[in-house]
Structure 1
Amino acid sequence: MKKNVMLGAITSSLILFAGCSSNNLDSTNSNKQKNNKQLLSVVESAELPTMDISKAVDVVSFSAISQTMEGLYEFNDDSIPQAALAKEVVEPTNNGLTYTISLKEDGKWSNGEPVTAHDFVYSWQRTVNPVTSSEYAYLFSGIVNADAITKGEKKPEELGVKALDDYTIEISLEKPIPYLNSLLAKPTFYPQNKKAVEEFGDNYATSSENLVYNGAFKLDQWDGTNTTWNYIKNDQYREKKHVSLDEINVTVVKENGTSLNMYQADEVDIIPVKGEFAQQQKDNADFIVREYPSSYYIQYNFKNKLASNKNLRKAIGYSINSKEIADTILGDGSKEINGFVATGILNPKTGKDFAEESGKLTEFNQEKAQEYWKKAKLELGNTPLNFTLLASDTDSAKKLAEYVQGQLESTLDGLKINVSAIPFSNRLDKMSNGDFEIVLAGWSATFADPVDFLQLANVDASMNFGKWNNEEYGKIMNDVTNTYAADSDKRWESMIEAHKLMMEELPYQPLYQSSEAFLVKPKVKGLVYRALGSPYYKNVTVE
């Protein structure tokens, strides 16, 4: 019977599942089984860019960090934060401005040192320090002095977090943050071992050797660039007796057909499936679809003359058939999207879906596309009408890029799209450096609030790689995060207003709402596909 996992009622986070083994796994599996060891082999669709908690921004890195590190909180099966290293999930005091969190005292690093409150303070200070150049430093906004520190106006040591003693953390806020407990379960807020960071220096977290771990597993056999790595059971983990798996073998396989062949040959236990392969496997009892709030889109670089032309962006928007992409190009359970913010994020007060309340903000209409294209050509004059579309080199990303290329060139007469498909980590680097014209990218919610999507378009947001700058949008978002921080009704209304303005100006062109499809062997037990966070292999057993 096909399993279909619906998780859109909360929100979701970045999540792909780690990779598979190589073709010699048959003998490896046999040896493991003879030794009564638990081995899992999984396929990852892209390389692992980094293990640096302060610098990770992608699904692959967060998945790896989630296996090997542990924070204050983690997500339960329903994507609700629950205690991990913290003794309990706490509610704020001082009108929502103070969180005091006590830690369990049995946490250990793989070097034998205890995990203390000082490790969290150090980690957070390192992330907001401008020298670190963390693209996720903005997530600390709202903690006392965080914004001033990231701007270089105050020292990292002035961040509003301190260790009251070795096992007690106090967080001081400038304004209430309704979703803070969800943030604290995110790897960006995990601890870091100061001794290891200083010892390894520039090489810190660039390989499995140059890092220490406090989670259920340790990373092994990763040199920073290779396409295979392992997770091995961490004998220093505080709850090691509850961890069944001894080893997880990960291999990057970018071709869907190759990974499917490996799965059918019983060489791997979990693979992602996309496109026609997902469609072919829908009746397979091993087939699982995970639906969650995640948008895939075109991002424009506003330094490019074509991209900065609003009529051209509108012409492209009307040329995109989101339903066709979801149903025909992908076929993995992904859905048509009607705005930048995906469905599945609910108003905690009314239970209404944010995307549905925003209304239908996208439309496929080729006549309107050509109408705006004519206006754009008049405004652009003799400007060469061509883009280079940057994409990852996975099968699904390349097929989507080819679809976008064909759709735009056939609808918008004279427009030329060149596709540049490069490795995932290289694509991330180029985006971060603003080295693109237009790029295919995606965003999965990391906490249960629409601002997680909307803040990407703020002019000063590190993730605003295209440098869109709209004064009215900035004002609305300032009201969302500051003026109405404690007024849930006005805050929600302002976020809808911001969403509509974004879709009028189109700094991003939504393509579809992502889902993920997997084949999972029946022998794999305890693997949960939550709406938030990566899967925790520490809960998995293999029968």
Structure 2
Amino acid sequence: MEKKRLFKYMFTALIAVLFLSSCSSRKSFSKQKTTLNLMQTSDLTTLDNTNQATMSEFSTLTNLDEGLYKLNSKNEVVPAIAKTIAKPTNNGKTYTINLRKDARWSNGDKVTAQDFVYSWRRSVDPANKPVYTYVFSGIKNADAVIAGKISPSKLGIKAIGKYKLEIILEHPMQSFNKLVTMPVFLPQDKVFVQKIGTKKYGSNAKYTVSNGAFKITKWTGINDSYLLVKNKYYYAKKRVKLNKISYTTIKDDNTAYNLFKTNKLDDATVSGVVAQGLQNNKNLKKVSRAWTYYLQVNQSKGSPLANAKLRKAVSLVINRKELTQKVLGDGSTPAGSFVSPKTAIDPTTGKDFSTETATSMQSNVKEAKRLWKEGLSEIGKSSVTLSLIAEDTETQKKVAEYIQSTVQSNLSNVSVKVQNLPAKSLSNKKTAGEFDLSLWYWLADYADPINYLGILTTGNSMNPGKYSDSVFDSYLANAQTAKTKSIYWANLRDAEKKLQKTTGIVPLYYVKEDHLVQSGLSGVVYHTAGFADYTRSYWK
């Protein structure tokens, strides 16, 4: 009996120890696995979605806020703050959208129809110095408001009560539902913004509120790290498994890789030499993006590259295959058009739009030299010095050096001066037109060629190179007002071909984004167009 009793006590004690150990382990595991460590390649400068359009801003806003609609894991448009996907009336020109009543801002305020009206008006108000205005074109009176001809209050959006919106277009827009998934169409808490002032809004964590799964903390507006914490007012907070997302700005690939190896980054992007050596790594995930790197070319009056022959010569000397394979080595591919592959299938032909419109990606140094000589003669100069500006990231430094070397070694009487600058300084220089070539990129916000081509129309705020071609503009105008798919896609094809023929920009390569992802991370939605959504991610 004593032995049985002793065994019983020992067994009970063992179970208790195991139980406590299990609880302790689970507690430790849970604590460790409810935070996600991510990186940005450039500093976050603002979270005011009405007057900026940087990658760090948009990628952060994707995980902070929700608009009317969002994209699911299949890149399909689904409701977010809207209760359902609205069907247009009035021959496709009027959208009446009912909003959910349980959506709240991170300060507890309710998300209302007026918050959308307020934000959209700010996004087209010239007084706010917006940079992403062209996407509003097609919404009633948007162009006139942007031009400063009429008040922002005349924009075709109004609140009908507290939870209903009416949006009126000037013409049917086939891409409208995809369009409004962009961060620029997010709402803003009108009461909060007006209380603190529009100049302060989005400048740091204290002056920012969000309506999505997380809210931002520990961001001063100038520091290179910040934290997203779970928003207790989020209507779907039970579906959010993470408690925190920690962001750090990392511009160097080696640093990103080392932080990943030491478990200080859970999802790291790498490129160049670092990516080349990791192509067989078990943690490597290749993500297809609707993302094109290109050279913006300053075509303002008096600029040397306003000459079409000189622009074409620069494009022809670049060996894109060498650039992608030897300089990048991360799976990125040579670009023969502005619109990247897998952005959209042309429904009228059944072909990938990028593929069907691309021109030759082969370099032609002999032809480039001929054009360069003729171009210099036409502008009356024997030599030129070109300024090439780029961001101060590791990748852009390498690409800029390659462009500099290639142009100088293949074309005569030219010097290329490179400046690698922080994102804000780069933006300021472009706005001031202080460049000849600017290394830049376009990451599609929604999966439609018009999202690329539309930024290059005359006078567009996203067109610092001042490319201007009346025929190109007419193709875009025809597409925007097209009543049929055939007219829409035919004009987009013509616009892409015209852009290439006139060398409005110099396409370089299509990004294949390399991610190092810690095993066990699941639920991340890597959108081809737009930005990665981590709001439903979790650890297995």
User: Normalized against structure 1, the TM-score is what?
Assistant: 0.91
Secondary structure of the residue that 2:160 maps to in structure 1?
strand
Query: 1:251 maps to what in 2?
Result: 248
- Kindly indicate whether residue 322 of structure 2 is the aligned counterpart of residue 343 of structure 1: no
Query: 1:20 maps to what in 2?
Result: none
Secondary structure of the residue that 2:375 maps to in structure 1?
helix
Distance 1:362 1:306 in 2: 24
Give the 3 Å change call, closer, same or farther, for CA 174–32 of structure 1 in structure 2: farther
Supply the AA of the counterpart residue of 1:300.
Answer: V
User: Which of residues 230, 233, 251 in structure 1 aligns to 2:230?
Assistant: 233
User: Which of residues 93, 100, 117 in structure 1 aligns to 2:89?
Assistant: 93
User: Which of residues 153, 160, 165 in structure 1 aligns to 2:156?
Assistant: 160
Query: 2:310 maps to what in 1?
Result: 312
Query: 1:142 maps to what in 2?
Result: 138
Distance 1:422 1:36 in 2: 36
Secondary structure of the residue that 1:231 maps to in structure 2?
strand
Secondary structure of the residue that 1:209 maps to in structure 2?
helix
User: Which of residues 280, 284, 309 in structure 2 aligns to 1:283?
Assistant: 280
Secondary structure of the residue that 1:63 maps to in structure 2?
helix
Distance 2:243 2:358 in 1: 48
What per-residue deviation string (whole Å, max 9, x for no partner) do you get for residues 218-250 of structure 1?
A: 111111111111111111111111111111111
Query: 2:204 maps to what in 1?
Result: 207
- Kindly indicate whether residue 191 of structure 2 is the aligned counterpart of residue 192 of structure 1: no
Distance 1:524 1:422 in 2: 34
What per-residue deviation string (whole Å, max 9, x for no partner) do you get for residues 28-64 of structure 1?
A: xx99757466111112211112100102312110011
Distance 1:73 1:271 in 2: 28
Distance 2:27 2:317 in 1: 54
Unaligned runs of 5+ residues in structure 2 are: 1-25
Alignment of 1:258-297 (within 5 A): 258-297=255-294
What per-residue deviation string (whole Å, max 9, x for no partner) do you get for residues 326-362 of structure 1?
A: 2221122211111222222212344322122224254
Distance 1:238 1:367 in 2: 62
Query: 1:169 maps to what in 2?
Result: 165
What per-residue deviation string (whole Å, max 9, x for no partner) do you get for residues 383-422 of structure 1?
A: 6411110001111100000000111111102211111001
Alignment of 1:110-149 (within 5 A): 110-149=106-145
Query: 1:7 maps to what in 2?
Result: none
Query: 1:432 maps to what in 2?
Result: 431
Distance 2:28 2:374 in 1: 65
Using CA pairs below 8 Å that are at least 6 residues apart, which structure has the higher relative contact order? 1
CA-CA distance at 1:166 after TM superposition: 1.1
CA contact (8 A) 1:39 1:542 kept: no
Give the 3 Å change call, closer, same or farther, for CA 114–32 of structure 1 in structure 2: farther
What per-residue deviation string (whole Å, max 9, x for no partner) do you get for residues 428-476 of structure 1?
A: 2322332322100000122222111111221121111111222222222
Secondary structure of the residue that 2:399 maps to in structure 1?
helix
Question: Could you tell me the percent identity over the aligned residues?
Answer: 35
Supply the AA of the counterpart residue of 1:498.
Answer: A
- Kindly indicate whether residue 374 of structure 2 is the aligned counterpart of residue 378 of structure 1: no
Query: 2:523 maps to what in 1?
Result: 526
Query: 1:444 maps to what in 2?
Result: 443
Distance 1:65 1:237 in 2: 15
Secondary structure of the residue that 2:246 maps to in structure 1?
strand
Query: 2:14 maps to what in 1?
Result: none
- Kindly indicate whether residue 70 of structure 2 is the aligned counterpart of residue 71 of structure 1: no
- Kindly indicate whether residue 451 of structure 2 is the aligned counterpart of residue 455 of structure 1: no
Distance 1:213 1:41 in 2: 20
Distance 2:445 2:69 in 1: 14
CA contact (8 A) 1:75 1:532 kept: no
CA contact (8 A) 1:291 1:334 kept: no
CA contact (8 A) 1:86 1:102 kept: yes
Secondary structure of the residue that 1:68 maps to in structure 2?
coil
Query: 1:487 maps to what in 2?
Result: 484
Distance 1:325 1:133 in 2: 36
Alignment of 1:8-19 (within 5 A): none
CA-CA distance at 1:285 after TM superposition: 1.2
Supply the AA of the counterpart residue of 1:496.
Answer: R
User: Normalized against structure 2, the TM-score is what?
Assistant: 0.91
Supply the AA of the counterpart residue of 1:461.
Answer: N
Query: 1:363 maps to what in 2?
Result: 362
CA contact (8 A) 1:46 1:423 kept: yes
CA-CA distance at 1:251 after TM superposition: 0.9
CA contact (8 A) 1:391 1:420 kept: yes
Query: 1:12 maps to what in 2?
Result: none
What per-residue deviation string (whole Å, max 9, x for no partner) do you get for residues 288-337 of structure 1?
A: 11112221111111235311111111111110111221222112221111
Supply the AA of the counterpart residue of 2:315.
Answer: G
- Kindly indicate whether residue 399 of structure 2 is the aligned counterpart of residue 403 of structure 1: no
Supply the AA of the counterpart residue of 1:386.
Answer: T
Supply the AA of the counterpart residue of 1:39.
Answer: T
Distance 1:105 1:492 in 2: 38
Give the 3 Å change call, closer, same or farther, for CA 159–320 of structure 1 in structure 2: same
Supply the AA of the counterpart residue of 1:411.
Answer: N
CA contact (8 A) 2:334 2:509 kept: yes
Secondary structure of the residue that 2:118 maps to in structure 1?
helix
CA-CA distance at 1:487 after TM superposition: 2.4
Query: 1:388 maps to what in 2?
Result: 387
Alignment root-mean-square deviation, CA: 1.7
Query: 1:18 maps to what in 2?
Result: none
User: Which of residues 37, 41, 65 in structure 1 aligns to 2:37?
Assistant: 41
Distance 1:526 1:270 in 2: 13
The structure having more radius of gyration, on CA atoms, is 2
Unaligned runs of 5+ residues in structure 1 are: 1-29
Distance 1:529 1:32 in 2: 29
- Kindly indicate whether residue 498 of structure 2 is the aligned counterpart of residue 501 of structure 1: yes
Distance 1:41 1:502 in 2: 40
Count of aligned residue pairs for this structure pair: 512
Bigger mean CA offset, 338-347 vs 272-281: 338-347
Query: 2:319 maps to what in 1?
Result: 321
Secondary structure of the residue that 1:382 maps to in structure 2?
coil
CA contact (8 A) 2:383 2:413 kept: no
CA contact (8 A) 1:71 1:187 kept: yes
Secondary structure of the residue that 2:333 maps to in structure 1?
coil
